[in-house]
Amino acid sequence: MAQQLTQEIEEKDRLALAEMNQPLILGNPSYHDVTRVVSEIVEVRTPKIWYMALALTGGITAILGSMLAYLVWNGIGVWGNNSPVGWGWDITNFVFWIGIGHAGTLISAILFLFRQKWRTSINRFAEAMTLFAVACAGIYPAFHVGRPWRAYWLFPIPIADHGMWQNFRSPLEWDVFAVSTYATVSLLFWFVGLIPDLAILRDRATTKIRRTIYGVLSLGWRSSSTHWKNYEKAYTILAGISTPLVLSVHTIVSFDFAVAILPGWHTTIFPPYFVAGAIFSGFAMVVTLMVIARWVFKVEHIVTMKHLENMCKVMVATGTIVGYAYATEMFIAWYSGNPYEQFTFINRATGPYYWAYWIMISCNVLSPQLFWFKRMRTSIPVMFVVSIIVNIGMWFERFVIIATSLHRDFLPSSWGYFHPTIVDILTFFGTFGLFLTLFLLFLRFLPMIAVQEVKGTMAAEKH
C-alpha cells in the first residue's frame, strides 16, 4: 500500500517535472529546418491574401492620413477636446499605444537579462510591435501641438526662427526626451538583433536584387567568433540600458499627470501603476497578433503553447497588479481625508462616466482572472478573446484617468463632459491601419522569428 503510494507520488513528480521542462521548440527540428521555416515566410511568392490584407489596412491608413490632413487644415477644434476636458482621445490614444509598445521591450530586454529562454521565439515579433506602436503613439502629441509643422520646437535645436528654449521643468518636455529616446533605442536594439538574420536571408537569396538589399542591410556580417563576441556584448548592454529605459518611459508618461495638481492625477502610485498597465496591455497585444501569425505562417512548433501560456501568466500577474492599484487609489482617496480627492474617486465609479469605469474594472481586473486555470490559459480562443477584452479595458483605463479627472475639477461652474467627434473616432481607427500595415510589411520582408537566437536555445537544450 505504502509502496504503491510512493510510486504514485513519484509518477506525479515525474510528470510535473516533464511538464516544467517541456522543450521550447517542438518536434526536434534541425538547425536547417528552423532557418528554412522562418526564411521561407519571406521567400515564397507573396500570397494573394497578403495583398488583400495590405489593401484593407492601407485603406484604413488612408483614413488616418485624411483625418490628419483635415485636422491640419482646420485646427484641433475638429477633435472633441473642450474646456475643461483639454486632453481627450488624443492623449488617451497616445498613452494606449505607448503602453502597447512596452511589452516588446520587456520581452526583448528584461526577459533577456533574466535568462528566460522562452522569449527567443517571440522577441523579434514583439520588438516590431513596439516600434509600430510607438510610431502610432507619436502621431498624437505631434498633431496635438496644433501646428505640427512646428513640432520640432519641442526639441532643443538651435534654429533661429525664435529666440526661445524649452522649459525643462515641464513633464511634457521630459516626455519628449523619454519617448524619442525610447523610439530610437528600440529601433537600434531591433536592428542589432536583425543583422545576423538578415545575413541568413542574404546567404539564401536566389536573385541578385534580394542578395544586394539583404547584403547591404546585413552590413557584411559573417558570423565569426569576434563578431559574436562584440555582438553579444552589445546586445547585453542594450538589454541592460533598455530595462531602466522602458520603466522610465511610462514613469515619465505618468508624470504628465502625476505632476499636475488635479485630484485623480496627483498621486505617487502612478509610475508603478502605469508601468504594470503598460506591460499588461502590451502582452495582450502580443497574444492577439501572435495567435493569428503563428497560425497563418504555420510556426506553431516554434511559437508553442508554452510561449502563449507564459504570456497569459504575465497577463494575470500584471492584471492583478493593476486591479490592486485601482483599489489602492480608492483607499488612499478615502484615507487622505481630502474631500476633492474623495469626490473624484466616487465620481469616477458613480458619476457620468460610471460606465467607462466599470468597463475598465471588468475588462482589466476580472477577465484575466480566467488565466488562473490551466485549461483557460492553454485555450487559443479564450486567450484571443481575453487579450482583446484586455486591450479594450486598458484603453478605457486611460480614458477614465484623463476624462473623469478633467471633467469635474474644483469649480462646479466649469464642469463639462467630453464627446468624441467623428474625426476623433476615425483618427483612432486609422492608427490601427497604420499599425497593421507596418506589421504586414514586416512579416513580408523581415524574419519574424529571431532565427539565430532560436538555434542558440536549441543548442543549449541539447546539452
Partner 1 sequence: MIKALIEKLLTPKKGTFGVAANFESVEGILSAVMRARAEGYTKLETYTPFPIHGMDEALGNPPSVLGYIVICIGLCGTATAIALTYWVGTIAYPLVIGGKPLWAIEYTLPIIFELTILFSAFASVLGMLHLNRLPQFYHALFNYSGFSKISDDAFVLVIESQDPKFNAERAKQFLNSIGGHVVEVVEE
| Interface contacts to partner 1, rule CB under 8 A | 30-32, 35, 156, 163-169, 173-174, 177-178, 181, 184-185, 188-189, 191-192, 196, 199-200, 202-204, 215-216, 219-234, 237-238, 241-242, 244-245, 248, 252, 255, 452-453, 455-456, 459-460, 462
CA–CA separation, 247 and 106 (whole Å)? 9
Of 128, 113, 107, nearest to 239 (Cα)?
113
Q: Which residues contact 25 (CB under 8 A, 6 or more apart)?
A: 34, 121, 301, 302, 304, 454, 457, 458, 461
CA–CA separation, 396 and 393 (whole Å)? 5
Residue position matching grid coordinates 513528480: 13
CA–CA separation, 261 and 256 (whole Å)? 11
Distances (CA, A) of 397 to 135, 355, 401: 21, 12, 6
CB of 118 or CB of 353, closer to partner 1 = 118
Positive or negative torsion for Cα 212, 215, 219, 224 = negative
Query: Minimal distance in Å, beta carbon 242 to partner 1?
Result: 8
CB of 216 or CB of 425, closer to partner 1 = 216
CB of 71 or CB of 451, closer to partner 1 = 451
CB-side neighbour CA atoms (13 Å) of 4:
1
Beta carbons of 422 and 350 less than 8 angstroms apart:
no
Query: Minimal distance in Å, beta carbon 415 to partner 1?
Result: 26
CB of 25 or CB of 361, closer to partner 1 = 25
CB of 25 or CB of 370, closer to partner 1 = 25
Query: Minimal distance in Å, beta carbon 221 to partner 1?
Result: 7
CB of 218 or CB of 437, closer to partner 1 = 218
Query: Minimal distance in Å, beta carbon 365 to partner 1?
Result: 30
Query: Minimal distance in Å, beta carbon 15 to partner 1?
Result: 30
CB of 83 or CB of 167, closer to partner 1 = 167
Query: Minimal distance in Å, beta carbon 105 to partner 1?
Result: 12
CB of 114 or CB of 372, closer to partner 1 = 114
CB of 101 or CB of 420, closer to partner 1 = 101
Beta carbons of 78 and 444 less than 8 angstroms apart:
no
Of 81, 89, 116, nearest to 430 (Cα)?
89
Query: Minimal distance in Å, beta carbon 202 to partner 1?
Result: 8
Integer-rounded Cα Rg, in Å, for the chain is 24
Distances (CA, A) of 120 to 132, 364, 461: 20, 27, 13
Positive or negative torsion for Cα 426, 427, 433, 437 = positive
CB of 227 or CB of 306, closer to partner 1 = 227
Query: Minimal distance in Å, beta carbon 430 to partner 1?
Result: 29
Query: Minimal distance in Å, beta carbon 189 to partner 1?
Result: 8
Query: Minimal distance in Å, beta carbon 274 to partner 1?
Result: 15
Beta carbons of 341 and 316 less than 8 angstroms apart:
no
CA–CA separation, 198 and 316 (whole Å)? 35
Query: Minimal distance in Å, beta carbon 439 to partner 1?
Result: 24
* DSSP codes, 149-174: GGGGGGS----TT-S----TT-HHHH
Of 60, 143, 58, nearest to 94 (Cα)?
143
- Supply 317's cell numbers: 500577474
CB of 174 or CB of 273, closer to partner 1 = 174
C-alpha torsion angle, residues 7, 12, 17, 18 (rounded to 10): 100
